[in-house]
């Protein structure tokens, strides 16, 4: 069969290695960064100070204000700090919240980004930024958003709690799953997506059972990198629209929301994307991809209802309305009543249904 597709490789530098002063110095030299502002969330501030010590006089300071969903007000504070301290680059240490802040800063200032992930978010290898303002989360894509360098150090993930490891890994898996039925999908991304889902499906149960299993942690980082690369290469669909709506408008935790919604989004799209579903089922070793994802979540011990993570029952109608407003492209038409039923099942923690 003759194929027609386009594939654009993203120009990030990916380094799997042990974080060290020498490695940081070498990578900042590559980027031409003389003074770097270190970014973290409040709980990771002490680790940010450790990186500042590694950098010596190349460390401009630590901004420990990164939070979920990248509020514009926090970004404005961080940009002011960057300029006040005379920094010409950022080093982001943490998960998706910290990476999002680095991206938002880079979009406004064009400073280089060096990302050191400690979760399996995958957003560190995408040119996509989701920002929240006035209770609404919007996304944009630009080459200026893509981080220049990512350092993956498996030892930095060993302290990630098993439950958070599970939700973070399922969040990454969602990127790969939706890449398989993307409108602009291609064979290269499909190979990466199936491999990513398989790697994460192998790794996450082992991490929950033995959090210090370095081989499992390495598999998860590998799967997260591939998943993020898929997310950055092709468009996303219903699942991501739902999660952006729920996170930005109702303040739900990012990874947990993705982990809960994913099986339901797969069930919604199953009949419209049979080839993608066959790949997902094969990667999971399951007969049915939606049921397999739901069973994996149960095995990992995550919350499986939106109710459990703070979604109000009286918000479901508004969420359905928002989801069908300016919808992302999706292989199955976005129907308001069907989306409302999907959200009701996800809210209650019921098994997914087409």
In DSSP notation, 279-307 reads HHHHHHT-SSHHHHHHHHHHHHT----TG
Give dist(CA 196, CA 229) in Å, integer.
10
pLDDT of 101: 98
3-state SS, 41-101, equals CHHHHHHHHHHHHHHHHHEEEEECCCCCCCEHHHHHHHHHHHHHHCCCEEEEEECHHHHHH
Q: Which residues contact 9 (CB under 8 A, 6 or more apart)?
A: 233
DSSP annotation of 33 reads -
Q: Which residues contact 110 (CB under 8 A, 6 or more apart)?
A: 144
- Residue 234, pLDDT > 70, answer yes
Q: Give 79-89 pLDDT, tens digit per residue.
A: 999 999 999 99
Q: Residue 23 in contact with residue 17, Cβ under 8 Å?
A: yes
Q: Residue 233 in contact with residue 189, Cβ under 8 Å?
A: yes
Q: Which residues contact 212 (CB under 8 A, 6 or more apart)?
A: 158
Segment 38-42 shows an average pLDDT of 97
Extract the tokens encoding 334: 């976005």
Domains annotated on the chain, with CATH? 13-157 (3.40.50.1970), 162-348 (1.20.1090.10)
pLDDT of 154: 96
pLDDT of 106: 98
Taking alpha carbons only, the member of 98, 92, 107, 77 closest to residue 37 is: 92
Residue 128, classed as helix, strand or coil, is strand
Give dist(CA 267, CA 270) in Å, integer.
5
Q: Give 253-281 pLDDT, tens digit per residue.
A: 989 999 999 999 999 999 999 999 999 99
- Residue 194, pLDDT > 90, answer yes
Confidence band, pLDDT 50/70/90 cuts, at residue 350: very high
Sign for the CA dihedral angle at 161, 139, 228, 350 comes to positive
Kind plus residue range of the DSSP H or E element containing 164: helix 162-179
Q: Give 70-125 pLDDT, tens digit per residue.
A: 999 999 999 999 999 999 999 999 999 999 999 999 999 999 999 999 999 888 99
pTM for the full model? 0.88
């Amino acid at each position: 069969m003759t194929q027609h597709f386009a594939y654009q490789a993203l120009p990030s530098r990916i380094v799997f290695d042990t974080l060290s002063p020498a490695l940081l110095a070498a990578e900042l030299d590559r980027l031409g960064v003389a003074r770097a502002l270190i970014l973290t969330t409040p709980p990771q501030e002490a680790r940010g100070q450790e990186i500042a010590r590694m950098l010596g006089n190349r460390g401009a300071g630590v901004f420990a204000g990164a939070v979920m969903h990248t509020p514009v007000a926090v970004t404005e504070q961080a940009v002011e700090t960057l300029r006040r301290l005379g920094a010409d680059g950022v080093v982001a240490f943490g998960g998706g919240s910290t990476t999002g802040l680095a991206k938002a800063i880079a979009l406004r200032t064009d400073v280089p980004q060096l990302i050191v992930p400690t979760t399996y978010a995958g957003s560190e290898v995408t040119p996509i930024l989701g920002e929240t303002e006035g209770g609404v989360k919007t996304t944009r894509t630009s080459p200026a958003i893509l981080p220049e360098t990512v350092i993956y150090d498996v030892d930095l993930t060993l302290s990630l709690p098993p439950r958070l490891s599970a939700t973070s890994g399922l969040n990454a898996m969602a990127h790969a799953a939706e890449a398989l039925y993307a409108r602009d999908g291609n064979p290269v991304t499909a190979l990466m997506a199936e491999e990513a889902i398989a790697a994460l499906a192998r790794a996450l149960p082992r991490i929950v059972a033995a959090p210090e299993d370095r081989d499992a942690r390495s598999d998860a980082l590998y799967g997260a990198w591939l998943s993020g690369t898929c997310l950055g290469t092709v468009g996303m669909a219903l699942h991501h629209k739902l999660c952006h709506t729920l996170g930005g408008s109702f303040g739900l935790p990012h990874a947990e929301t993705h982990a809960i919604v994913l099986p339901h989004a797969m069930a919604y799209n199953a009949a419209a994307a049979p080839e993608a579903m066959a790949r997902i089922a094969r990667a999971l070793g399951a007969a049915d991809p939606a049921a397999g994802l739901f069973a994996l979540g149960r095995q990992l011990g995550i919350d499986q209802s939106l109710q459990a993570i703070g979604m109000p029952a009286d918000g479901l109608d508004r969420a359905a309305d928002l989801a069908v407003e300016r919808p992302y492209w999706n292989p199955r038409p976005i129907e308001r009543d069907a989306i409302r039923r999907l959200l009701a099942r996800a809210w209650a923690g019921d098994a997914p249904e087409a």
